[in-house]
């Protein structure tokens, strides 16, 4: 039986505006307002989850989503780069950044490689395609890197395609199907509900 996985990227925050390797940065006021304005616009789900970051948790709360933390959907672990700005890391470690961008197996920051991220997210997707009591519609508020990794894994794209996928804040990405056979409906913005 097919599963529908609806991935919602969290609202904007200062780390995203500053091109930071996010770490666990919370929503800012603007992101919180936009998430609240989009409350009530999400499709129905049998199960709702969110990534463990403060940004995902606050977005889910602001959207009015009653969800539980799904540890497998945590953000890309970027080791010592976490919290730093991309331009700062590029200036201080240009060779490491170049290797990280070119080689999906590289993890010069001491965290996960791109291959590890895609495998982790892919294993989570595959776990949703179980017989019996598994939900048929799963809504997940997850970091953009998790959405990108899910698309790469679901469509069996080369890992380098990860860098060519943009995920806007508060966008809905639909995957439907089952392990080994997923279809994609790309980044539909969440429209504000009536009277907002």
Residue 16 confidence (pLDDT)? 80
Residue 194 confidence (pLDDT)? 44
Are 195 and 39 a contacting pair, CB within 8 Å?
no
Residue 15 confidence (pLDDT)? 81
Residue 132 confidence (pLDDT)? 54
| E strand or H helix that includes residue 176 | strand 171-178
Tokens of 32: 């919180």
Residue 130 confidence (pLDDT)? 60
* pLDDT tens digits along 169-196: 999 999 998 877 899 987 566 665 443 3
Q: Which residue has the higher pLDDT, 19 or 75?
A: 75
Distance of CA 8 to the CA centre of its chain: 7
Are 86 and 21 a contacting pair, CB within 8 Å?
yes
Average pLDDT, the chain: 89
User: Domains of the chain: which residue ranges?
Assistant: 3-188
* pLDDT tens digits along 131-174: 456 668 999 999 999 999 999 999 999 999 999 999 989 999 99
How many other β-carbons are positioned within 10 Å of the β-carbon of residue 183?
A: 12
- In the chain, the percentage of residues whose pLDDT exceeds 90 is 70
Residue 189 confidence (pLDDT)? 64
Q: CATH fold of 3-188, please?
A: Rossmann fold (3.40.50)
Q: DSSP letter string over 110-162? A: SS--HHHHHHHHHHHHHHTS-SSS--SEEEEE--HHHHHHHHHHHTT--GGGG
Tokens of 91: 């200036």
Residues 171, 59: Cα–Cα separation, whole Å: 12
Residue 48 confidence (pLDDT)? 95
Residue 134 confidence (pLDDT)? 63
Who's near 111: CB < 8 A, 6+ residues apart? 76, 77, 78, 79, 80, 81, 82
* pLDDT tens digits along 68-82: 999 999 999 999 999
């Amino acid at each position: 039986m097919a599963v529908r996985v609806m991935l919602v990227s969290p609202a904007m925050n200062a780390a995203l505006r500053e091109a930071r390797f996010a770490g666990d940065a919370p929503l800012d006021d603007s992101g919180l307002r936009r998430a609240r304005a989009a409350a009530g616009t999400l499709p129905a789900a049998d199960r709702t989850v969110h990534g463990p970051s403060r940004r995902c948790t606050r977005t889910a709360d602001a959207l009015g989503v009653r969800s539980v933390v799904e540890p497998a959907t945590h953000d890309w672990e970027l080791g010592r780069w976490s919290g730093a700005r991309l331009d700062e890391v590029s200036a201080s470690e240009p060779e490491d950044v170049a290797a990280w961008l070119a080689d999906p197996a590289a993890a010069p920051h001491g965290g996960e490689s791109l291959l590890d991220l895609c495998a982790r997210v892919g294993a989570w997707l595959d776990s949703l395609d179980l017989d019996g009591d598994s939900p048929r519609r799963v809504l997940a508020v997850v970091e953009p890197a998790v959405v990108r990794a899910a698309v790469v894994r679901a469509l069996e794209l080369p890992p380098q395609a990860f860098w060519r996928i943009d995920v806007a804040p508060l966008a809905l990405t639909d995957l439907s199907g089952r392990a080994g056979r997923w279809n994609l409906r790309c980044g539909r913005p969440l429209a504000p509900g009536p009277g907002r």
